[in-house]
Structure 1
Amino acid sequence: MSTLHGIGLLLLAVIAGAVVPFQSAINANLGRGLGHPLWATLASLLVSILVLLPIMLAMRVPLPSVAFISKAPLWMWAGGAFGVCFISLALVLLPKLGASGFMALALAGQVVASLVLDHFGWFGLVQRQVSLPRVLGALLLIGGVVLIQLSAAPSKALAAAS
């Protein structure tokens, strides 16, 4: 992999992470407006379909193999359930914890779960053993999460307006 290509992939990963707090904040407002967080979860997923289908049609993405669909293990279909879990929890927790608090805590959960997934090579991932430097890196990230959350008291003007 060329250095330029590698940097591009890293930047795309940063962008993928950067859109999550925007999505969560927008969906939290939508949930309040619609009267329940689960309505906002459904709306978010429906908009996702409406955005994705034209892109897939324009790219002429071929239909998946019926043979694969019929033989795929059930765990391969769980991604959608995890998406509903994340979106719904973000809708409920982001207004209470703030964007930085929620995202920091979500990141801590992602880092810990990622270390476990890598260590065991679950779901077809390349196995990457847990090592002292990886654990220390995770602890530093989690320490940062604690600092972000402990210093995240809302301003008095905003608290009075709520």
Structure 2
Amino acid sequence: MQSFDEVSAAPAPVARPGLRLLLLPLVILAGMGLSVEAGLLGPLGEQVGHLWATLSIFGVGSAILFLLLLFAGPQKGPALTDLPRWQLIGGFLGPMYVVVLTLATPHIGIAMTMIAILSGQVGKSVLIDHFGWFGATRKKVNGERWLALGLIVAALILIARG
């Protein structure tokens, strides 16, 4: 079993330029889906409770994934029991993210929630890229990345004031 340090030093696969062009709109659409999810979760959490709303979202998602796995056939790769335990942290982070969406959205609005999440995501992503954590390809923080992060923080402030 590999440790965190061993995996973080491994080179990450590099996407081909054509694949990158196809993935970018897909990722943007997924981001739009998160805004819709926040809009749905806020009122649902107010009606049934924040934890029940989170459970319902993960229950529906788990059922859909189960059906997809049934029709997708055998999956390649090691068994979950063979993976380093730290790689399973996402199973904890996902529900925490959804609970925060459910709690925050009714009080601060979808735009503020999403830009705050975006600022946290980009800030942490810059660090992950810079240090090559989790097997990511190392990309040093440069002036353009600092500027991008600063603009996102500026957007957060402007939306908060607006």
Larger radius of gyration: 1
Aligned counterpart in structure 2 of residue 46 of structure 1, from 56, 59, 81:
59
Offset of 1:64 from its aligned partner?
5.3
Higher relative contact order (CA 8 A, sep 6+): 2
Aligned counterpart in structure 1 of residue 157 of structure 2, from 138, 146, 162:
146
Task: Report the AA paired with residue 106 of structure 1.
Answer: I
Structure 1 gap ranges (5+): 152-162
Task: Report the AA paired with residue 120 of structure 1.
Answer: F
- Whole-angstrom CA distance in 2 between matches of 1:64 and 1:9: 23
RMSD of equivalent CA atoms: 1.5
Change (3 A) 1:33 1:64: farther
Other structure's SS at 1:129 match: coil
- Whole-angstrom CA distance in 2 between matches of 1:91 and 1:8: 31
Q: Determine the structure 2 residue equivalent to 1:160.
A: none
Q: Determine the structure 2 residue equivalent to 1:129.
A: 140
Q: Determine the structure 2 residue equivalent to 1:19.
A: 33
Q: Determine the structure 2 residue equivalent to 1:116.
A: 127
Structure 2 gap ranges (5+): 1-15
Query: Percent sequence identity over matched residues?
Result: 28
Superposed counterparts of 1:1-162, under 5 Å: 1-3=16-18, 5-34=19-48, 36-62=49-75, 65-66=78-79, 69-151=80-162
Change (3 A) 1:57 1:11: same
List per-residue Cα deviations over 1:81-110 (Å, max 9, x = no partner): 110111000000011110001101110111
After TM superposition, what 4+ stretches of structure 1 lie above 4 angstroms from structure 2?
none
Name which of structure 1's ranges 113-122 and 24-33 shifts more when overlaid on structure 2: 24-33
Other structure's SS at 2:109 match: helix
Q: Determine the structure 2 residue equivalent to 1:154.
A: none
Offset of 1:2 from its aligned partner?
4.5
TM-score, scaled to structure 1 = 0.84
List per-residue Cα deviations over 1:126-162 (Å, max 9, x = no partner): 11111111101110121112111210xxxxxxxxxxx
- Whole-angstrom CA distance in 1 between matches of 2:89 and 2:145: 27
- Whole-angstrom CA distance in 2 between matches of 1:73 and 1:144: 38
Name which of structure 1's ranges 139-148 and 84-93 shifts more when overlaid on structure 2: 139-148
Change (3 A) 1:63 1:127: closer
